[in-house]
Structure 1
């Protein structure tokens, strides 16, 4: 197992290198000039040239790339072209809201979706099963931002239970912190509840037809023990896989949700950096997201051996 983890960690290096090359090339080849955005419409040609020289944009692309890679290897993510702040400091400042939103979303999704999937599989073909499947299709079909605006309309504007926008850190109290995350979590979790519930249902149904399930029932075990102790454990591999994929996909969902609810997280930082053509910030965030994605896949692969002892690396 240790050798497998080490090999996978070493495989991260070429993946991250490829991501760095692609991101750097796309940003530099995309039309637009960050110097013009910084200087404004009234800037002269001499002022634009001076800004490009200060930012290093007058250098050939390959020179800019090697300078950036050298900074990365030394642990320096660069400095924001717009604010002049170190990119690492900006990421640390914005990480709290995004991390809180991701953890609350995946926790709520798993706690709701897995029991729903198990019950739908147990009541296969019955009314409850059809309701769960219909709700899952609805959850897939409605975009996150539409769900977010509907929640804001009902719970914030009409009822006044939760704030329309904004974020309260945990240091200001548990209830203000949780209150600011309720609607973003509900909006973002709809898709993942639908996804996990459907996969859980399908996996449980496949396992319920196996011989060991019939043997467990023949021994007189209660249906709850059969479902949770035998069926769920043997169906856990695809469920864990889809939960891991869901965690990775949260990256894109966070960008939309944080923009709608005005949360000062990494998603908002991505939007601000893209609009401002802030190259160092965009590059650092995409590398961070890619590393998190690869790390989650490694954790999921490792968990396979916990749920299925037959799997060995």
Structure 2
């Protein structure tokens, strides 16, 4: 196990190097000049040249890349062109809302998706199964930003049950913190609930046809015991895989949802950075998201051995 973990961690090094190269080059190839954005609409060509020199954008691409990599090796992601702060400082200021939103979304998703998936499998080919699967298709089909505006209109404007936008830190109290996150979390979780519920249903149905399930029923075990202790445990590997993928993909949902609900998190930060061609901020956030994706995949692989004793590393 230890050797497997070490090898996987070492394998992240070339992966991250490839990511850094692609991110760096794609930003330089994309249209738009950070110096022109900073100079503004009334900026003169001379001002743009001076800004490019000050930011080091007039240097050869290889020199810029080497300087950036050396900075990362020292733990320095550079200084933001637009926000005029160190990128690491910006990320630390914005990371709490994003982690809070992702955590509440994940909790809601797991608490809702797995039970309704198990129920749909147990009641397959009934009206309960049909309703759950229909709602799953609807939830998976509606874009996050559309669902966000629908929820805001219904529950924040019409009913006035939740706040429209913003974020409350945990330090201001647990209920204000949670109250502010419920609508954004529901907006993101709708897609993942639909996906995980369908995978759970399919996995449980496959397991329910096995001989040991029939043997468990023949021994007189209650349906709840058979479903939870036998069927769900043996169907857990594909379910955990999808949950892991969902955690990694949360970054995309967070970016859209934070913009809709005006949450000052990493998602809003990267949107502002892209709009203002803030290269250091974009590069740092993409690298952090990529590293997070790799770590989540590693944790999912390690979880397999806990769920299925036959899996050894």
Partner of 1:155: 155
Could you tell me how far 1:47 is from its partner in structure 2?
1.5
Partner of 2:293: 293
Structure 1, residues 5-48: CA drift from partner, whole Å, max 9, x if none? 00000000000000000000000111111001111122222211
Partner of 1:48: 48
Instruction: Give the alignment's TM-score, normalised by structure 2.
Output: 0.99
CA distance in 1, matches of 2:30, 2:188: 30
CA distance in 2, matches of 1:121, 1:268: 39
Could you tell me how far 1:215 is from its partner in structure 2?
1.0
CA distance in 2, matches of 1:123, 1:135: 15
Partner of 1:88: 88
Is 1:220 aligned with 2:229? no
Partner of 2:178: 178
Write the mapping of 1:161-200 to structure 2, written as runs, cut at 5 A: 161-200=161-200
Could you tell me how far 1:171 is from its partner in structure 2?
1.1
CA distance in 2, matches of 1:177, 1:53: 44
Partner of 1:97: 97
Moved over 3 A (4+): none
CA distance in 2, matches of 1:222, 1:165: 46
Structure 1, residues 202-248: CA drift from partner, whole Å, max 9, x if none? 00000001111111111111111100000000000000000000001
**SS, match of residue 194 in structure 1:** helix
Write the mapping of 1:67-78 to structure 2, written as runs, cut at 5 A: 67-78=67-78
Could you tell me how far 1:278 is from its partner in structure 2?
0.2
**SS, match of residue 82 in structure 1:** coil
CA distance in 2, matches of 1:236, 1:170: 33
CA distance in 1, matches of 2:124, 2:43: 67
CA distance in 1, matches of 2:312, 2:141: 38
CA distance in 1, matches of 2:101, 2:51: 37
Partner of 1:266: 266
Is 1:233 aligned with 2:233? yes
Instruction: Give the alignment's TM-score, normalised by structure 1.
Output: 0.99
CA distance in 1, matches of 2:245, 2:86: 31
Could you tell me how far 1:82 is from its partner in structure 2?
1.1
Structure 1, residues 91-117: CA drift from partner, whole Å, max 9, x if none? 010000000000000110000000001
**SS, match of residue 163 in structure 1:** coil
CA distance in 2, matches of 1:226, 1:31: 58
CA distance in 2, matches of 1:40, 1:206: 60
Number of residue-to-residue matches in the alignment? 313
The gaps in structure 2 that reach 5 residues or longer are: none
CA distance in 1, matches of 2:106, 2:174: 19
Could you tell me how far 1:84 is from its partner in structure 2?
1.5
